[in-house]
Every structure is written in C-alpha cells, then in structure tokens.
Amino acid sequence: MTYDPSPSYRHHPPPAPPYAPGSRSHRAPRRDPLGHHSDLRILRGAYRRQRRTATLTALGYFTLFLLLSAYAPGLMTGTAVAGLPTGLLLALAQLPVTWLAIALYEYTARRRVDPLADRIRKEAELDARRGAGR
C-alpha cells in the first residue's frame, strides 16, 4: 500500500482543550470539588482549634481540681474565705469555669468559624446554581 497525501489521510493537530489558555471558550475554568477546597480545610482547622480551646478550658480546670484533691489535701481542707474550705470553693468555681468555656466556644464560633461556614455555604449555593444552569 502506498502513502496517499490527500487531506483525508493527513494528521491534524488535536483540538485545543476547552479550558486551555488562549482558547476562545466562554466557560469558567474548572474549580476543585467542594470537598477538597482549601476553605474547607481552613474551616475544619478553625473548628478543631475552637473545640480544643473550649474542651481544655473545662477539662483542664477539672483535672487541676482532681490533682489538688489527690496530691494537696492540706490545701483543699484549709480554710479560705468565711470558714469555707478551699476545696469547696474550687468545686463551686467549676460551674463558672464551664460557663466560661461555653462562652469562649460561642465567641470563637461567631468570630471565626461561622463567617467561614457562611462563605463556603454561599459558594456551594452558587456552584449548585451554575451546575443546574448547564
């Protein structure tokens, strides 16, 4: 068989991909799926720090109280204010410390986590609308 140089046998360069730089496509470039988006990693990190801070605040105080009870009984049975033992005052302080941990959790949620979550939610809604419009 001999080579025929007619146009039907010539090799043509492959068409440019639709998202190649310089192409005349009017489509937006593809974005990473939402599950792999860097904003989600940032949100997970902020939420993780928030949980750790609140948990360590409440559990840290309680652990300190238990350690003092076990290893410093003289301090815990000593009189602090108005004849009340120090151990009782420290035990009663557990409730305000827990409230402080809750307040800290809510504060960091409003300040750091919620704005990130709202932004991601809005981006997801926009992506869903764009996907429905195709």
Determine which of 7-21, 76-90, 112-126 has the lowest per-residue pLDDT on average.
Answer: 7-21
d(CA 78, CA 94): 18
d(CA 6, CA 110): 70
Alpha helical stretches, state H, the chain: 38-71, 73-77, 86-92, 94-108, 114-132
Full-model pTM: 0.57
pLDDT in tens, 30-66: 555 555 568 888 888 988 998 898 888 889 999 999 9
Between the CA atoms of 49, 52, 54 and 57, what dihedral angle is there, to the nearest 10 degrees? -130
